Structure 1
Amino acid sequence: MIFEWLWVMLIAVLVFLIVRRFVGPKDLTALPQEDFIKGYRKAQLIDVREPKEYDGGHILGARNIPVSQMKQRMVEIREDQPVYLYCQSGMRSKQAAKLIKKHKGNRDIYHLKGGFKRWTGKISKKKKSA
């Protein structure tokens, strides 16, 4: 009886952790590329990937604040403008949105559905020095 109860509790905790990992914050809106393009020019466009990924190619006009540095660089994010986030696939942008919501309270947070790997718009790459 106790053994069965422990299994039920373990499964419940695992389900909770999995759902929490994949479900974004309530105030985060996933946008397809067309809608993302319509809004990001009037907002803060933030690439939350690591610098090497950003240097390899990023959406034109984006600044790089890696999710790994988000807490330390939170002062760079304005509260009076919408925030448009993206990463490679969408997972890190969800994590970044949770942090921004927690520390800044921003309500207008959007992320690119499918991430940069599905982006077909204009990009910029860091030029390699000779």
Structure 2
Amino acid sequence: MEIIQYILMALVILFLVRKFIPTKGVRQITTAQLKTELKSKDKQFVDVRTPMEFKGNHIKQFKNIPLNALKAEAKNLSKEKEVIVICQSGMRSNAAVKQLKKLGFSNVTNVKGGMNAWS
């Protein structure tokens, strides 16, 4: 019985570590760094929050593509340009950049702390 508890605990820890560790090959930037990035015309800015969250407060350069619609909407993004992704806290955007990597996007960036860190 004790060994099963250890295995379950190890699986939970592994799941949590994989959830929070940044994806390999994904650039992580702060909101301070984002302010300089916003000036670039060669980048695509995607906000993966819900339309209601986006409507409440957003950065004007960002296009709203909710996380649950990202896979279907990714065809409207260029794989040639960098995609910078934001959400409320950084969790959904981290999931979004993982999804974009799987879809063949090689130049993806996650905004750490999301809109919570934006000032």
Settle same-fold status: TM greater than 0.5. yes
Q: For residues 17-43 of structure 1, give each alpha carbon's deviation from its aligned partner in whole angstroms, at most 9, with x where no partner exists.
A: 111111121122221123212224330
Equivalent residue for 2:33? 35
CA drift of 1:107 comes to 2.3
Question: Where in structure 1 do 4 or more consecutive aligned residues deviate above 3 Å?
Answer: none
Cα distance between partner residues in 1 of 2:34 and 2:86: 10
Provide, for residues 56-114 of structure 1, a one-character-per-residue CA deviation record: whole Å limited to 9, x for no partner.
Answer: 111111100110111111201210000101000000000000110001x2222112221
Letter in 2 for 1:36: L
Confirm or deny: 8 A CA contact 1:46 1:62 kept in the other structure: yes
TM normalised by structure 1 equals 0.84
> Under a length normalisation based on structure 2, what TM-score does the superposition of the two structures give?
0.91
Paired positions, count:
117
Q: Answer whether contact 1:97 1:109 (CA < 8 A) is retained.
A: yes
State how far apart, in whole Å, the 1-side matches of 2:57 and 2:13 are: 36
1:13-24 alignment runs, 5 A limit: 13-24=11-22
Q: Name the structure with the higher helix share.
A: 2
Q: State the one-letter code of the partner of 1:19.
A: V
Distance across 1 between alignment mates of 2:4 and 2:32: 48
**SS of the counterpart of 1:35?**
helix
- Report the AA paired with residue 7 of structure 1: Q
Once residues 18 and 34 of structure 1 are traced to their aligned partners in structure 2, the CA distance between those partners, rounded to angstroms, is: 27
In structure 1, the residue matched to 2:115 is 116
| Aligned AA (1:18) | L
- 1:5 matched residue in structure 2: 3
* Identity of matched residues, %: 32
1:82 alignment partner AA = E
Q: Which is higher, the Rg of structure 1 or of structure 2?
A: 1
Mapped to 1, the partners of 2:110 and 2:35 lie a distance apart of: 11
Give the gaps of 5 or more residues in structure 2.
none
Amino acid at match of 1:106: F
